[in-house]
Chains A and B, each alone.
Chain A
Amino acid sequence: MELCYYPGCTLKTTAKNFELPAIASIEKLGHKMVELPRWNCCGTVHSLAADDLMHQLAPIRTLIRVSETGADKVVTLCAMCYNTLKQANKIILEDNEKRDRINNFLDEEKDYSGNVSVLHLLEFLRDEVGFEEIKKRVKRPLDDLKLSPYYGCLLLRPEGIGIDDIEAPRIMEDLIEALGGEAVDSPFKSECCGSYHTVDDIDPVIERTKMIIDDSNARGADAIVVGCPLCFYNLDYRQKDAKERYKEFNSIPIFYFTQILAIALGLDESTCAFGEHFVDPRPMLLNKNLVLSGWK
């Protein structure tokens, strides 16, 4: 199947290591991610003002672009884009008055009625491909690899938008287990990482990063798996600041779920761009004999 794929700004640059393994893995699974032409920034995050629709225009325009390609669903990797697009879509679907106002304003575009479904790649893997199917295609099972899934906020909340149950999600655990790994359950898997505060006020971010990583370490995890570039940045790069403040802080490598998917499906290390990480996961992977071809 050909999937209409919306990358968003970050996936093309600082989150290359999220996109590359995604595209390669999906192809290995027999599908194709086709990048949406003429896409624009989704304008993350979803504006919470009920009286101002200006900030909904960017995501709606994206969805109009999708419907122009004839597709009825769009897949994203970035959790923030997912949340922004889906919440904007919800407004169109549930509020007729707002839908009409937006359509009237965007008079140079075709009217949009909410016919596009917004999917996160994890949903696609669970519902359209199926974890059983993925299990069959695993070439390099992640034996002996203990992974702690970290969902962050925007994949699960607010209610009605998330890809799984808010308090006890299973989607990443099921994926990890299908790939042969062991899922480590941390109670902080959906606790906020500090999000955008990382730009101007890193204090809360350092505290949250430390709390989340300390817990995964205490539960014996080898690595943490995320599905959002901002969570990745906060949990990976900010380990540097955490280490500066807390001498006894123990680091842990962070993976995108597409990277572990790629490794398990037997793809080459070059698809994962591990060089982009602050905490290099390669030594840990070597330790687990998850050797990848063509690296030193």
Chain B
Amino acid sequence: MLGSLEKRILSVLFKEKKTTARDIFRKLRAEGMTTTYVTVNTVLSRLYKRGLINRISEPYRGSFRYTYEYKDLKEGLISDLLGDVTLLFGEEGIDLLKKKLDTKKGKEQVKTKEKAKPLSDTETMRICLSRNNIQNSIIKKIEEISGQKVSACYQCGKCSAGCPMINLMDLLPNQIIRLVQLGQISEVLDSKTIWLCASCFTCSARCPKGVDLAKVLEALRLLLLRKSENYIEPSELDIDENMPQIALVSNLRKKTG
């Protein structure tokens, strides 16, 4: 049995054949689905572990990243699904299925005539700004959790210049705080950057304006973690016996709620 998100992801992969987690996430959002990048990533991991899709690691930006590949399990999966229908409803089920397929074909033809959905701010290079973005309660919440004034950042970039995790980040640390200043919170919460932060405090120690960026990123993580949107699934972790407990404790503190 497949969950609804799993099905949606598999359907995207079926069309794209080979793509990255980020692309799948973007396509799902374009289809109007509310999900987060993190969730998509987790589900992809699970599908891979269940052997339903392929996963390849490719060099990227000096390091590497994962690409997912559609595995042609059509035969097996579809018989599985049909098996469920007959199990539950017998021949009657199959007849109903046939009827639905006929009507669906008709509906799909109608659907394609519908207008394409408009792109959201996170998918385009354009932001529409109004005071609602700037005088935003989420920005205030972030300032409350972090105890920092985001408007104090004058975008010098020294934090990004010294960040140890920069090579794998999609958004730079200074871009994160810039997007917060402009109220673009969802883009920030979807990024890998906030989870790649190692809380090393190099940015905090060097910032000329005294903005503790480590605290701002913690606040952004907490916005998700406090809603129980964990970044990692503890049961799926691969722990070797030599790993120090402090690594586990701190990792779970930072990446789970």
Contact = CB atoms under 8 A, between A and B. Distances in A.
* A contacts B directly (C-beta below 8 A): yes
Interface of A: 8-10, 13-15, 41, 43-45, 47-52, 55, 78, 80-81, 153-154, 157-159, 166, 191-192, 194-201, 203-204, 207-208, 229-230, 232-233, 237, 278
Nearest to A236: B242
Contact of B250 (A51, A157, A192, A196): A196
Contacts of B168: 203-204, 207
Given A45-B253, A203-B64, A230 B244 contact: yes
The 4 residue pairs across chains A and B that have the minimum distance between CB atoms: A50-B147, A192-B200, A48-B218, A157-B201
A78 B113 CA distance: 64
A204 B242 contact: no
B202 to A, nearest CB: 7
B63 interface: yes
B246 A10 contact: yes
Given A50-B215, A199-B237, A233 B243 contact: yes
B243 A14 contact: yes
Contact of B222 (A49, A232, A237): A49
A197 B242 contact: no
B253 A195 contact: no
Secondary structure dominating the interface of A: loop
B146 A50 contact: yes
State which size class the interface on B falls in.
35 or more
Nearest to B204: A158
B212 A197 contact: no
A200 B201 contact: no
A222 to B, nearest CB: 23
A273 to B, nearest CB: 13
Nearest to A81: B246
Contact of B249 (A44, A197, A200, A233): A44
B198 interface: yes
A42 to B, nearest CB: 9
A90 to B, nearest CB: 13
B246 A48 contact: no
Contacts of A192: 164-165, 198, 200, 202
A253 to B, nearest CB: 16
Q: Name the residue among B199, B246, B247, B248 with the largest chain A CB count within 10 angstroms.
A: B246
A195 B253 CA distance: 13
Contacts of B244: 10, 14-15, 229-230, 232-233
A48 B222 CA distance: 10
A50 B242 contact: no
A9 B63 contact: no
Nearest to B65: A203
B164 A191 contact: yes
Contacts of A43: 249, 253
Contact of A197 (B198, B218, B237, B243): B198
B13 interface: no
A47 B253 CA distance: 8
A235 B201 CA distance: 20
B249 to A, nearest CB: 6
A157 B212 CA distance: 12
B254 A14 contact: no
Interface string B163-177: 011011000000000
A289 B168 CA distance: 43
B214 interface: yes
Contacts of B222: 49
A235 to B, nearest CB: 12
B245 interface: yes
A44 B202 contact: no
Contacts of B165: 192, 194, 197, 204
A207 B242 CA distance: 20
A245 to B, nearest CB: 9
B255 interface: yes
Contacts of B249: 9, 41, 43-44
Q: Name the residue among B215, B222, B244, B255 with the largest chain A CB count within 10 angstroms.
A: B244
B205 A158 contact: yes
